[in-house]
A and B are shown apart, each in its own frame.
Chain A
Amino acid sequence: MLLKSTARDPAFRGRLNAAIIVLLVLWPLLQTAEVKPGALFDAGNLTVIGNFLAAFLPPETGSEFLGYLGKATLETLAIATAGLALAFLLAVPMGYLVSGAGREHPTLNPLSRSLLTILRGIPELVWALVLVRVFGLGPAAGVLALGLTYGGMLAKVYAEILESVDATPARALRQNGASRPLAMLYGLLPQASKELASYTVYRWECAIRASVVMGFVGAGGLGQLMDQAMKMLNGGEAATILFVFMLLVFAADGFSGWLRRALDTPPAHRSSPFGWRSGGFMLALLLSVSASFHMLDIGFGALFSLESATSISQFVASFFPPDLSAEWLAKVAKGIWETLAISIVGTLLAAVLGLLLALPKPRAPFTLLLNTLRSVPELVWATITVLAVGLGPFAGVLALALHTAGVLGRLYGEAFANTPPTAARALRQAGAPAVVVFLYGTLPGAAPQLVAYTLYRWEMNIRMAAILGFVGAGGLGQHLYFELSLFHYAQASTVIIAMLALSIAVDQVSAGLRRWMQ
């Protein structure tokens, strides 16, 4: 009723038109993603999911199972830690090569740039799936997959952080004859180190979530147990694993928050470079990284033997040339379209859900809800939503929406908190109702931030949507799983290239949209 009056809303007509246009564009996407909310209330589906959730109680607490669980938890932590250590080792030289920082004439290195794009563009799960074949059974594949993808991401972000800080000190050093590494070390790193360290710690937290997902393709850890429990629809085991997993994610979240806050502490005035904190931290880091590698028992020596070099190159060669027959391309194109639809509809649904969850007060219960939503990875949500709405893309949409709503809800909340309150206050004092105050006072100020966050998540979700098919939730993933299982590498290669192209295209569109909005 409120919005119907054009007198009250001068922008009403424009907004209505925009909404209609958006709906028209969305319609085919909704069709492709097979969005049928009715499926949620279908009697058959309700019994399936109801029985599964009912089996969550009591959670499995048998001592044999808890033994497996303990070992898997440690393995997950070790995979994440070792993977990130590897990523760091890759990211430092690559970031250095890629970054325009500290160069007198910013020349962008096209070779290393495209290497980074490839590393990042292929989802870590796909790397893991491929590497499991090369490096055999066990967690080595997971560690390497994390190392490669996260190495690419860290390198890109390191490069950007170094480019974004004030370049004057480095330029001054270079003009006085310092070499580029020295100029970066003394001119740029001091300003950027906090942000660099903070992002690295944040990535470690992400690596824990990702290493769980890796277990789904046999790379060990909690994910492998979870995959089994979910496949066997063993609710009791699934409940215990989910609980332990969420504890782990919350703990990692808390720990990384604490570490990042610790970076704000000013250093003590003393001549020794090592205080108790940095000394202890370094020792702990060293111990945990070496313990991780030790526990996983990765035969890196074997990786560099001539024999494995031959088998790896043979393996890589078998992916070329990709299958470009019209029949297969048509199948892949259908998968691309479906993946795109899942990512867009899932992200939009998450934006709506996130907005709804970001607003109510008091915050505490909603913060807990958001944290819970976001601590469960998309692929795990998908195994559950597949039960709730049946196999197919709609399950994928819901899985993306649930996880992403948790992420976006939190980011939206922060954005609202940071919006200058003056406009809203003025409206409230003029007697406007709460809805109008929000729509005209708070929302316009926060909107650019909200849109930027949403687009950023869309870039992540396209990578996720590409692999949801592993658990039957639509998109390109099922093709890849099927073809790789059968050693049809030429066909798998086409799918991987399609995933890469899709994620690059979405990155470009999203970046373009963000520029256009500014």
Chain B
Amino acid sequence: MEVIARGEGPLFSDPDPDKLRAFFRQKSRALTNKVTTVEDAVRRFAQDGDYLAIGGFGANRIPTAVCHELVRQGRHNMIFAGHTSTHDFQILAAGEVFDRCDNAYIIGLEARGLSPNARRYMESGKVRMAEWTNYGLALRLKAAAMGVPFLPGRNMLGTDTFRKSAAIAARDPFTGKIVTLFPALSPDVAAIHVHEADVYGNCRLRGISIADLELARAAKRLIITCERLVPTEVIRAEPTLTVIPYYLVDAVCEVPYGAYPGVMPGEYFSDEEHLRLWLKTEEDPVAFGRFFDDLVRKTKDFQEYLDRCGGVRRIQQLRAQELLLDAGQAR
């Protein structure tokens, strides 16, 4: 294929599909009980320097407990997939967990505004970056999930986003048209929050899947947090509903309300007051340092964090909001 242009950005991961096959060749296919704590899962499966990806969409179905635990255990020098990231990015930037980032959507919280602290971190010059797009990173994960070295797309061409990426523009040998080649991205470790899982890691989820089905298949190691564990018989009674099979999964952690303060489809809505408080507090770095220490670094686990944010009572209000019940504000 004739190469037309090369992005000058760094490629933080190796797209070689034979190395990926060699890795997956030795990955266990055994049906073993993988239930553990988030503390243990992060200790065993997420190492300093790893390429990290977080499932969900910023403040929707995110594995909040894993993001917190990465900070608590002081993970650093990681590479982050800044794909549709919002509150997850806020947590990981505050903990300075990563020092390299593939940027697609970072530092913003969509309609809520920009994160002052994450912005300071990204403006500091401490983070090495490449630019991508949300679809571009989804395609990169899809390529790894397919076991191919790259996939073509027709986006990013002609822009500075392309120039600062590690993509290649090449001439398609079939049609003569120019396409962007997106190198496969296989994160070393990923975490995804789902509605239900069995002890082996077979997962079900409701609502949009974002890029999680690709991510689950692309990642070398996968930590699942779930709202609730279900018996394997439930999975086997209706296999159509399984979206992530157990052999991709390394750890299963039951974390009720684990997407808080984000949305969990059909379960609870995002805690907009809490997210506003977070953004407001970030304006003052000193005050935010204390806030972050109290809520994340010094809490024992996710349940303690949730208790500090109003606990199950707050979740009940958010459940009413999610289900559009009139009880929303009443309790």
* Bind each other: no
Contact surface of B with A, Cβ cutoff 8 Å: none
